[in-house]
Amino acid sequence: MDRLIHEARQLKRGYIRLATLGRLKDACDAIADGSAAEVLRRARSKGAHAYRAGSAPINASTIEAYVKARQALGHTEWIGPTRVTIAADKSGMMTYIAARQAERGIVTLPKKTPRQKSIDEIIDRLDAVEDQQFLRFALEELRQTASKYRILVRGLTSIPGIDVQSILHGAPATPALPARSVDPNVQASLRRLTQRLCDDQALAEYDLTFDGRRVRQRSGMRKQLVQADEIDALRGLTSEKVDTEPETSPFEADCVES
């Protein structure tokens, strides 16, 4: 899906393609988690029972049936995708559908929570289809960023000497041990960690950036994950050079909330 979204954004009228891809993903999600059964039941569509518990296959026919059910319920923006448009897009939508069907034997898509369903209903009330899909993709990007952030925090937690909870709650970091008391293997690990934390390209994968003194979010509130004094402590332990930089504003000094 990431490839399809990227390609759609390059098109002159890419918002139309993005809207179609958004509906395609929603349809696949609904079929996979079984929520499509309730939609088809309310639309009085035939065979609604076959979609219970996510038992229906994800293919062009089931997707079209779900699209028609949404239309019958008054969702006029659900103009597709149809079997014809899907069949004509073999390297795009067909490939995505095949991948979604294949992954069902590996992972089980969790059902949407009441909160997620409420968000979907709110988005559906927006008049412009392009606005709906823009918001859906923005929320999905936020979800992926949060997931990467949690992975990074787990990684930092596993490294001796890094008090992640103190960092997240804004408390002073635990003072580091003198360099002479640090085991050489631990010091080598800390050196690699310091290098990764100062590697802006590596951090970009987690929507983080290193501005020369600290690690912070690349976008949004730009809150800090690792503060300047903590970077200095790591560099001191590993004999890395410590650069200087003017003090930041109180807003920039905020830590990432837990």
Q: Cα 101–93–135 angle (5° rounding)?
A: 95
Please state the rounded mean pLDDT for residues 147-158. Answer: 80
Tokens at 142, concatenated: 């936020």
How buried is residue 208: exposed, middle or buried, by Cβ count under 10 Å (0-12/13-18/19+)? buried
* Torsional class of 100: left (φ above 0), alpha (ψ -120 to 50), beta (otherwise): alpha
Which of 51-55, 159-163, 248-252 has the highest average model confidence (pLDDT)? 51-55
pLDDT class of 179 with cuts at 50, 70, 90: very low
pLDDT at 172: 58
pLDDT at 121: 82
Please state the rounded mean pLDDT for residues 100-127. Answer: 75
Whether the model pTM is above 0.85: no
Beta-carbon count within 10 A of 212 CB: 12
Estimate to the nearest angstrom the gap between the alpha carbon of 90 and the chain centroid: 26
